[in-house]
């Protein structure tokens, strides 16, 4: 048991050196060339660890996606990683990888270059000890997770359907946890059309799209039910042309979070069915659930319990965590595949300047993943 951990501890300097290299190469979602270079760097490391590049999925605008496999077997387990980050080009030049108090800092260090690194070193440990997992291990490295996975979604779902289990290498935030459920996410856009008029001369002839929108925002926010885990947030609004014109147009962008599929459907119907308050105003509402909820299931929980026991044997504890954010794990969990998320790095500050990963936890988490792959039934 501790053999793998001992080996990975001996690899910690190599892990940190490679993490520094990855962090210092920016990979913003919309910079195809940069993400592709990152992809090649990561793939080279995986191939050196014994993986085979089974498929490349070329993309015209986003970075390419890749499917790598390790080992043999009629059945497979799926491990999800993403190559892209939320950071702009040149971020790493201004804010390169640094170490402060045992924490690695820099853009993408936790979300999820640290996670991908953990996947790589789990594989290296298997290769080092010539361990053959019972199932074929499939890694998907995708390039558009941070913008909702529109181009990788069908690939993730197709691989998910073929998989017995799914592991997601998103990070654990601020505490030693694994993610067993995530909220579902919906996105909607509301366009209000009113009637313009001179605000001083003929205000009665106008229908204010802004007034209508203001009322709709109240209806939308009233759909939130914190106890049930439902939140509706109007996060962006715009509208109007000039102060002396009754606004003919106003728009809102809406975020919905739910914990169950049933709530997702019910609240989506409510949003799509909104009716105007003001006579003469028109509403056009588009959107829907983009990532269905990743609900905790008995099989998912059993997977977590197994990971918890392995962690204890390795000398640390993990608790389960329910996240309000979505990940690609939602896509696979929605197919009914037992999924365990948050297996990436222990750190925090994802998408923020405070982003960090705990360097001493890298070998522990890689050992946990390697043992989990080997002990899976
Ligand atoms: Zn991520």
β-strand pairing of 172-173 with 346-348: parallel
Q: What CA dihedral angle connects 359, 361, 364 and 366, to 10 degrees? A: -60
> Residue 194 above 60 pLDDT?
yes
Q: How far apart, in whole angstroms, are the C-alpha atoms of residue 43 and residue 116?
A: 11
Domains of the chain from N-terminus onward: 2-182+294-375 (3.40.630.10), 184-291 (3.30.70.360)
Cα 326 to averaged position of ligand 1 atoms, centre (Å): 9
CA of 22 to the centre of ligand 1 (A): 15
181-201: burial string, b at 16+ Cβ within 10 Å, e else: bbbbbbbbebbbbbbbbeeee
Q: From CA 147, how far away is CA 135, in angstroms rounded?
A: 31
Rounded CA-CA distance 348/327 in Å is: 16
How far is residue 53 from each of residues 69, 139, 149, 150, 347, measured CA to CA in Å? 7, 9, 21, 22, 29
Angle at 350 between CA 345 and CA 354, to 5 degrees: 105
Distance CA 119, CA 259 (A): 28
Q: What is the mean pLDDT of residues 355-371?
A: 98
Alpha carbon 231 to its chain centroid, in Å, reads 19
Mean pLDDT of 280-295: 96
Give distance in angstroms: CA of 83 to centre of ligand 1.
9
If you measure from the C-alpha of residue 308 to the centroid of ligand 1, how many angstroms do you get, rounded to a whole number? 22
- pLDDT, averaged across the chain: 96
Distance (angstroms) between ligand 1 centre and the Cα of 311 equals 23
* Terminal CA-CA length for the chain: 17
* Tokens representing residue 366 in the block: 């890689």
> What integer pLDDT is reported at residue 44 of this predicted model?
98
- By CB atoms closer than 10 A (0-12, 13-18, 19+), residue 226 is exposed
C-alpha 67 to ligand 1 mean position (Å): 18
**pLDDT at residue 362 is higher than 80:** yes
pLDDT (0 to 100) of residue 377: 82
Name the pLDDT band for 336 (thresholds 50, 70, 90): very high
Residue 274 has pLDDT above 80, yes or no: yes
Which run of H or E residues covers position 263? helix 261-272
pLDDT value at position 2? 76
pLDDT in tens, 82-91: 999 999 999 9
For residue 286, what are the β-bridge partners? 189
Q: Give the span between the Cα atoms of 91 and 28, in whole angstroms.
A: 9
Average pLDDT over residues 149-175: 96
Distance from residue 156's CA to the centre of ligand 1 (Å)? 15
Q: Is 96 helix (H, G, I), strand (E, B) or coil?
A: coil
Ligand 1 centre and the CA of 182: distance in Å?
13
Distance 155 CA to ligand 1 centre (A): 17
From ligand 1's centre to the CA of 112, what distance in Å?
5
Task: Check whether 72 has a pLDDT greater than 80.
Answer: yes
Quote the ligand 1 centre to 196 CA distance (angstroms). 44
**Model confidence pLDDT, tens digit, residues 83-114:** 999 999 999 999 999 999 999 999 999 999 99
Centre of ligand 1 to C-alpha 150, Å, is 15
pLDDT value at 250 more than 90: yes
Ligand 1 centroid distance, CA of 145 (Å): 7
**Which H helix or E strand runs over 44?**
helix 32-48
Distance 371 CA to ligand 1 centre (A): 23
CA of 31 to the centre of ligand 1 (A): 17
Q: What is the Cα gyration radius of the chain?
A: 23
Over range 309-318, report the average pLDDT: 96
Q: How far apart are CA 360 and CA 182, in angstroms?
A: 27
* Neighbouring C-alpha atoms within 13 Å toward the C-beta of 365: 33
The pair phi, psi for residue 310, each rounded to 5°, is -60, -45
Percent of the chain whose pLDDT exceeds 70: 100
Q: What is the pTM of this model?
A: 0.90
pLDDT given at position 1: 52
The answer, yes or no, to whether residue 195 has pLDDT greater than 90, is yes
């Amino acid at each position: 048991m501790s053999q793998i951990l001992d080996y990975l501890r001996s690899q910690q300097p190599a892990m940190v050196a490679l993490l520094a290299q990855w962090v210092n190469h920016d990979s913003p979602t919309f910079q195809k060339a940069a993400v592709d270079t990152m992809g090649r760097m990561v793939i080279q490391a995986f191939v050196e660890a014994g993986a085979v590049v089974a498929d490349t999925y070329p993309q015209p605008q986003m970075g390419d996606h890749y499917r790598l496999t390790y080992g043999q077997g009629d059945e497979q387990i799926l491990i999800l990683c993403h190559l892209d980050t939320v950071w702009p080009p040149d971020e790493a030049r201004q804010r390169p990888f640094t170490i402060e108090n045992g924490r690695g800092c820099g853009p993408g260090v936790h979300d999820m270059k640290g996670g991908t690194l953990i996947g790589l070193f789990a594989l290296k440990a298997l290769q080092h000890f010539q361990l053959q997992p019972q199932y074929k291990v499939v890694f998907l490295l995708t390039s558009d997770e941070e913008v909702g996975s529109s181009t990788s979604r069908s690939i993730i779902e197709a691989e998910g359907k073929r998989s017995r289990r799914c592991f997601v290498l998103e990070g654990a935030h601020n505490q030693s946890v694994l993610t067993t459920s995530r909220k579902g996410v919906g996105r909607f856009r509301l366009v209000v059309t009113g009637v313009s008029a001179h605000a001083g001369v003929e205000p009665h002839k106008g229908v204010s799209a802004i007034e209508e929108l203001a009322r709709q925002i109240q209806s939308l926010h009233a759909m939130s039910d914190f106890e049930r885990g439902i939140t509706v947030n109007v996060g962006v609004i715009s509208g109007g042309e000039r102060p002396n014109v009754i606004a003919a147009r106003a728009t809102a962008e809406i975020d919905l979070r739910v914990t169950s599929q049933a709530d997702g459907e019910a609240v989506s119907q409510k949003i799509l069915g909104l009716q105007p308050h003001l006579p003469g105003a028109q509403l056009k509402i588009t959107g829907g659930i983009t990532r269905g909820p990743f609900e905790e299931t008995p099989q998912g929980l059993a997977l977590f319990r197994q990971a918890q026991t392995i962690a204890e044997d390795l000398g640390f504890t993990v608790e389960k965590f329910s996240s309000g954010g979505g990940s690609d794990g939602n896509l696979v969990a929605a197919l009914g595949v037992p999924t365990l998320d948050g297996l990436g790095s222990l750190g925090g500050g994802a998408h923020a300047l405070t982003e960090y990963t705990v360097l001493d936890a890298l070998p522990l988490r890689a050992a946990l993943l390697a043992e989990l792959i080997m002990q899976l039934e």
